[in-house]
Structure 1
Amino acid sequence: MKPRHKAVAGLTTLLLPAAALVGLATPSHAAAAASTATATYAKTQDWGTGFEGKWTVKNTGTTALSSWTVEWDFPSDTKVTSAWDATVTNSADHWTAKNASYNGTLAPGASVSFGFNGSGPGAPTGCKLNGASCDGGDVPGDAAPSAPGTPSASSVTDTSAKISWTAATDDKGVKNYDVLRDGAKVATVTGTSYSDTGLTAGTDYSYTVQARDTADQTGPVSGAVKVHTTGGGTTDPGPGTGGKVKMGYFTDWGVYGRAYYPKNLETSGSAAKVTHINYAFGNVQNGQCTMGDSYADTDMAYTAANSVSGQADTWDQPLRGAFNQLRQLKAKHPGLKILWSFGGWTWSGGFGQAAQNPAAFADSCYKLVEDPRWADVFDGIDIDWEYPNACGLSCDTSGQDALKKLTTALRAKFGSNNLVTAAITADASSGGKIEKNDYAGASQSLDWYNVMTYDFFGAWDAKGPTAPHSPLTSYSGIPQAGFNSADAIAKLKAQGVPAGKLLLGIGFYGRGWTGVTQKEPGGTATGPAAGTYEQGIEDYKVLKTKCPANGTVAGTAYAFCGSDWWSYDTPATINSKMAWVKSQGLGGAFFWEFSGDTASGELVTAINSGLG
């Protein structure tokens, strides 16, 4: 698995030096700002080495605001590092945020938010909105209410549940509480309990609560309580249950250039045909689990057209981004399980330090995955270390037992009610990567391994020979012995990994060369074939018509068109591979990744029908 994390362009406004402040316009509403508008601050995320902050400007007057400028002071050890939806500048410890060209006008009653990433532990002070007091929370003026206590659930039936919580506090009094189900407000109540009705039997729900004060300011959201209504019944297909795992990776960067959203999992029919989704990727930094792309994960606002539920995100909802969309997807498919995957090709460099203190690593991962704001979204954790005690993007020397140390610590921390899995090498060559680690020992703490039985061959060998990147078996002329799925599975079994804990990997893409004159594998080339996002690689949905398969080798397909040579799996070869999975007693199959499939999800359909 060799994903590339792409820089997200256009999301942040670079900070300007103090000299650039000369060009800022003088606020035009200073005299009336305190009585006609408020600015409220909230720290929406904190990942230890940094945080995400959000300011919300609300027009509380009767006439429109034509522009807004928010100013505040940070302690010297706290700084803004990037921002969006506003131009943020500073003069030493004084920070100024001015509206963007598209969000300066605010009608009466309207609100707008802008956010930023920051470093340091400090909170803002001395807030001014258009030159006058902000009158917002967490700054001088009327403070926002505290978070209510984490709710508890009682009287759960097939169609209802009672939610109760301890009261929030506020300097001027709490007026009422918003009750949120799966991130969406379902009621506003004055007491500290609410009975929700009209639910679906055998379904998972998540409830949080948010307090409002007499000035209608909302405080932080409480922790979440999970509720599973009685009746209905759900299943968790997987090893040990008689079912097969059908798991696919969803990438956080796919929502940018690819415009591939969680909704696509629904419209393609794929969400109903998989048992598990791995959300990729979280990062591993300084030996700890950290956020991967906080904007895509938790803050990106979805339009109604792109939303799973068909409802647009609002500026003040407690959780947006892909996490909220995955929550909506789970509401439609109660048996679906989602894991947060950490590492990958680009972000595996931090695992070596993690292996030096596995308990601290596991604790950081648990706190992040089980954060109350999205704990209901995830059913466990997956780690994708490429590669322990071997070389990937960089080389690791953590030792033969490094992965076992991490998996043991993760299982101890996450317990038996969460899934813990790992993506691992399929290099079965003599002296290869499988031999570099105690995969049998590490498997004792895992639900299963995602064996990356793809990317065996590719145009990183620019002159060839051409070879299928995901061969099921060996074949005459294969460039490297042990570089095939069957040998990898056999070697892991021989090491002592149970067959039921092994998933076969399928690539929803092809790898190819150009300058090729030979149709059959083994030809020479001049370099990688052109691809949409990267040379030498292309999605199946493109290749099926651009360069249709016209041959098979070692259980997978290849295509020769013009001077290009590609190898990839098709519905027919996937069906054969799934039959092999069942014959080997494996736990199931997984794939990298959803966006490479067609709009109708034909590769996911092949996996589903092949495994039954």
Structure 2
Amino acid sequence: MSRPGGRRAIALAGAATLAVATALLAAPPASSAGTVTAECTKTQDWGSGFGGSCTITNGTDSALSGWKLEADLPSGTSVSVWNATQTVSGSHYTFSNPTWAASLGAGAKTSFGFNGTGSGFFTGCKINGASCDGGGGPGDQDDDAAPTAPTGLRASGKTATSVTLAWNASSDNVGVTGYDVYRGTTKAASVTGTSTTITGLSAKTAYTFTVKATDAAGNASSASESVSVTTDDGGGQGAGDKVIGYFVDWGVYQRNYHVKNIETSGSASKLTHINYAFGNVQGGKCTIGDSYADYDKAYGADQSVDGVADNWEQPLRGNFNQLRKLKKMHPGLKVLWSFGGWTWSGGFGQAAQNPAAFADSCYKLVEDSRWADVFDGIDIDWEYPNACGLSCDTSGPDAFKNLLSALRSKFGSDNLVTAAITADAAKDGKMDATDYKGASQYVDWFMPMTYDYFGGWDKEGPTAPHSPLTSYPGIPHEGFNTADTIAKLKGLGIPGSKLLMGLGFYGRGWTGVTQKEPGGKATAPAPGKYEAGIEDYKDIKSKCPPTGTVAGTSYAYCGNEWWSYDTPATIGGKMNWAGSEGLGGSFFWELSGDTPNGELISAIKNGLG
């Protein structure tokens, strides 16, 4: 699951950091108290490009529900931004608050950063339609030209209660500032980008949508062509309640993390399922991963879930016996045995040659009389069918589907069959190499691994969040973010209730970094306790506290190290998004990365409402 090298980012060409030449676009004067102002600054300038930031100050006595900064760039100059949403119309740039940080309190400030190419800089700065220096008023009284109507309105995804829409950008003589989305004649949303998700809809109901573009002067375009969408059947499945955590058998060694810790951290009461990782795949069969940790290790009373020590005469010890005890304390908790993972996925190719024999071997192992009551099903973690991970597989696009079909036939409807799958939504990426739609009919749910998109295996960077919720300007590889992953799987016809939000309880980082914002150059993976470039959340949260947020994920810059990881706050935002998408819940890698009091799993549970 959480292994380096599973995905690779495309490195961006970087420029060396030279002496800084600071240039102010609009410094708020002393007389601007009581207004909203903005100041944009070049923090680096290397001739052919630059870095910089803009700070928005709410000098009023009431909170802003959002902000919008506009400016022009000369020909030959362009920028890409983080911590803001960017739209471009010709040479006119519009930046607005990110969806996860819409409100700006009275007297508060917020900033976004950017990298630029060329030698020019912003002119004609406006914040919320008024001059950035606090003078003048909103809008342009001489602008009476409306934007062009949006084109290409389409539904890119839907659930029983939501529809995701996208359209092509409009143009305007000054600049488009936003779009109003209508459900029939009712305004359903106002956004600055060219996509949105309309929630709160009824299941199995037809809706008609149109979009209008607006500019700073209040001019509105004519409506786009309409698109009609019928929401999915709700089905009464109660989707959205799953909380699934991986427990790793090797955690009992150096990490000193045991099944008892699941209980003492409070995590057991918040989990619906545990995936026990990993069983091996050898000779076309499911096999034991670590017999000592799995069923032989004797636990003393101090490390036992129920405080009762093992003895050498009992038929089952180790993690399996401890999981049995945990399930007795939490009767609703389910446990699945997960097979494969990054290191052991190489065996699936041989297994795919005889799916029925593989399924039979797995059933016999999972349902072994010594521990049959411990497990409620099987989870398959093949990284990656008909594609490359630690090794390359050439089994063909139907191999994964055939394997899962055989497992479902053998395990039946009374056992769970699930699978962790690629999150590579790039064009011609790993998701295009396998028939995931066909395979989905045989599983209870898929777990797209929406983490490890970027990391220190690309030792020179660019620095990027390893688990971005959305795309952002400057992202090293398109299609490497949760929203694109879920949209692509839904586009195949897989319902949101069969897809879970993936989270990492760890950070990934680089060293040799001189830029605090994403997109910086690096020299190597950052040092880690167990492995270079990776650190558990419980350690990284104090070692390198967050300094910013990009694409719904925290990042941190300390010394010359740059890290990205999720916090309780960003997990809350991601769970809200998962709810709006109608996903079946969440899963995470893995339990030992959380704090002793379960900060992150609590954020997941709270986010489910």
Q: TM-score range by the shorter chain?
A: 0.5 to 0.7
Distance 1:499 1:440 in 2: 13
What is the CA distance between 1:241 and its match in structure 2?
3.7
Instruction: Name the structure 2 match of 1:387.
Output: 384
Matched, 1:512 2:504: no
Partner of 2:411: 414
Which letter does structure 2 place at the counterpart of 1:501?
K
Q: For 1:239 and 1:370, locate their aligned partners in 2 and report how far apart those are by CA, in whole Å.
A: 31
- The one-letter amino acid of 1:2's match is S
Question: Is residue 2:602 matched to residue 1:608?
Answer: no
The residue correspondences of 1:86-235 to structure 2 (distance < 5 A) are none
Matches within 5 A, 1:292-307: 292-307=289-304
CA distance in 1, matches of 2:566, 2:306: 32
1:347 partner SS: helix
- Alignment correspondent of 1:371: 368
**Are the aligned partners of 2:239 and 2:497 in contact in 1 as well (CA < 8 Å)?**
no
Distance in 2 between the 1:503 and 1:610 partners? 14
TM superposition score normalised by structure 2: 0.62
CA shift, 1:3, in A, is: 4.2
Q: Take 1:449 and 1:243, find their aligned partners in 2: how far apart are those partners?
A: 13
| Equivalence for 2:351 | 354
SS of aligned partner of 1:506: strand
Query: Match of 2:510, SS?
Result: strand
Q: Which of 323, 329, 349 is the aligned partner of 1:332?
A: 329
Which residue is 1:492 aligned to?
Answer: 489
Instruction: Give 2:547's aligned residue.
Output: 550
Q: Displacement, 1:499?
A: 1.0
| 1:288-311: CA deviation from partner (whole Å, max 9, x where unpaired) | 000000000000000111000101
Residue type of the alignment partner of 1:553: V
**Other-structure match for 1:116:** none
Deviations 1:70-107 (A, max 9, x none): xxxxxxxxxxxxxxxxxxxxxxxxxxxxxxxxxxxxxx
- Are 2:461 and 1:464 equivalent residues in the alignment? yes
TM superposition shift of 1:494: 0.6
2:442 paired with 1:445: yes
Helix, strand or coil at the partner of 1:552: strand
Structure 1 pair 527–243 and aligned structure 2 pair: CA distance change class (3 A): closer
Instruction: Report the AA paired with residue 466 of structure 1.
Output: T
Question: Partner letter of residue 509 of structure 2?
Answer: G
Q: How far, CA to CA, are the matches of 1:435 and 1:275 in structure 2? A: 31
Question: Which secondary structure state, in structure 2, belongs to the residue aligned with residue 513 of structure 1?
Answer: strand
Letter in 2 for 1:305: D
Aligned partners of 1:401 and 1:502: how far apart in 2?
Answer: 20
Instruction: Determine if the alignment matches structure 1 residue 573 to structure 2 residue 561.
Output: no
2:277 to 258, 280, 296: 280
Unaligned residue ranges in structure 2 (runs of 5+): 5-234
Structure 2 distance, partners of 1:531, 1:377, is 34
Rounded Cα–Cα distance in structure 1 between residues aligned with 2:238 and 2:444:
12
Partner of 1:2: 2
Corresponding letter in the other structure for 1:318 = P
Query: Where does residue 533 of structure 2 map in the other structure?
Result: 536
AA aligned opposite 2:2: K
> Secondary structure of 2:408's partner?
helix
Measure, in 2, the Cα distance between the counterparts of 1:302 and 1:494. 48
Query: Which residue identity lines up with residue 478 of structure 2 in the other structure?
Result: A
Change (3 A) 1:499 1:567: same
Provide the rounded CA distance (Å) in 2 between the counterparts of 1:479 and 1:323.
42
Residue 475 of structure 1: CA displacement?
0.2
Verify the 8 A CA contact 1:239 1:500 in the aligned structure 2: no
1:228 matched residue in structure 2: none
Q: Which amino acid aligns with 2:253?
A: Y
CA–CA distance in structure 2, aligned partners of residues 274 and 528 of structure 1: 32
The whole-number CA distance in structure 2 between the counterparts of 1:388 and 1:557 is 31
**CA offset digits 1:405-454 (Å, max 9, x no partner):** 01100000000000000000000011000111111110100000111000
Q: Which residue, out of 569, 573, 596, partners 2:593?
A: 596
Mapped contact 1:508–1:597 kept (Cα < 8 A): yes
Which residue of the partner structure matches residue 249 of structure 1?
246
1:570 alignment partner AA:
T
The residue type equivalent to 2:363 in the other structure is: Y
**Deviations along 1:524-557, whole A, 9 cap, x unmatched?**
0110100000000000000110000110000100
CA spacing shift, 1:313–1:425, aligned 2, 3 Å? same
Counterpart CA distance in 1 for 2:365 and 2:333 is: 21
- Cα distance change of structure 1 residues 511 and 240 upon mapping to structure 2, 3 Å threshold: same
Letter of the 1:270 partner, please give it.
S
Kindly indicate whether the alpha-carbon contact (under 8 Å) linking 1:239 and 1:245 is maintained by their aligned counterparts in 2: no
Q: How does 1:21-60 map to 2 (within 5 A)?
A: none
Equivalent residue number for residue 483 of structure 1: 480
Q: Is this contact kept in 2: 1:389–1:436, CA < 8 A?
A: yes
> C-alpha distance in 2, partners of 1:3/1:333?
31
CA-atom RMSD, angstroms? Answer: 1.1
Secondary structure at 2:2's aligned position in 1?
Answer: coil
Contact 1:579/1:610 (8 A) holds in 2:
yes
Letter of the aligned partner of 2:354 in structure 1?
N
Secondary structure of the residue aligned to 1:345 is helix
Structure 2 Cα separation of the partners of residues 301 and 239 of structure 1: 44
The answer to whether the 8 A contact 1:381-1:421 is kept is yes
Taking every aligned residue pair, what percent have the same amino acid on both sides?
A: 73
Listed one character per residue, the Cα deviations across residues 311-353 of structure 1 (whole Å, up to 9, x for unaligned) are 1100100100000000000000000000000000000001011
Tell me if 1:430 matches 2:423. no
Q: How many residues align?
A: 379
Q: Which residue type is aligned with residue 262 of structure 1?
A: V
C-alpha deviation, 1:239, in angstroms: 9.1
The C-alpha deviation readout for 1:218-255, integer Å capped at 9, x for no partner, is: xxxxxxxxxxxxxxxxxxxx992445210000000000
Shift of 1:2: 3.3
Q: 1:401 is aligned with what amino acid? A: D
Alpha carbons 1:239, 1:447 under 8 Å: kept: no
User: Residue 271 of structure 1: SS of its match in structure 2?
Assistant: coil
Matched AA of 1:446: V
Partner of 1:311: 308
Q: CA deviation at 1:496?
A: 1.6
Q: Which amino acid aligns with 1:548?
A: P
SS class of match (1:348): helix
Q: Counterparts of 1:296 and 1:450 in 2: how far apart (Å)?
A: 25
CA contact (8 A) 2:240 2:579 kept: no
Query: TM-score, length-normalised on structure 1?
Result: 0.61
> 2:173 maps to what in 1?
none
Partner of 1:34: none
Match of 1:344 in 2: 341
What is residue 161 of structure 1 aligned with on the other side? none
Q: What is the Cα deviation at residue 584 of structure 1?
A: 0.2
8 Å CA contact 1:462–1:526 kept in 2: the answer is yes
TM-superposed CA distance for 1:495, in Å, is: 1.1
**Deviations 1:251-306 (CA, angstroms, capped at 9, x unpaired):** 00000000000000000000000100000000000110000000000000001110
Measure the CA separation in 2 of the matches of 1:353 and 1:430: 28
* C-alpha distance in 1 between matches for 2:366 and 2:244: 19
For 2:437 and 2:240, the matched residues in 1 are separated by: 22
Distance 1:428 1:243, change over 3 A: closer
| Residue identity in the other structure for 1:509 | Y
The letter for the 2-side match of 1:345 is: W
Distance 2:354 2:390 in 1: 22
Q: Per the alignment, do residues 367 and 385 of structure 1 end up closer, same or farther by CA in structure 2, a change over 3 Å counting?
A: same
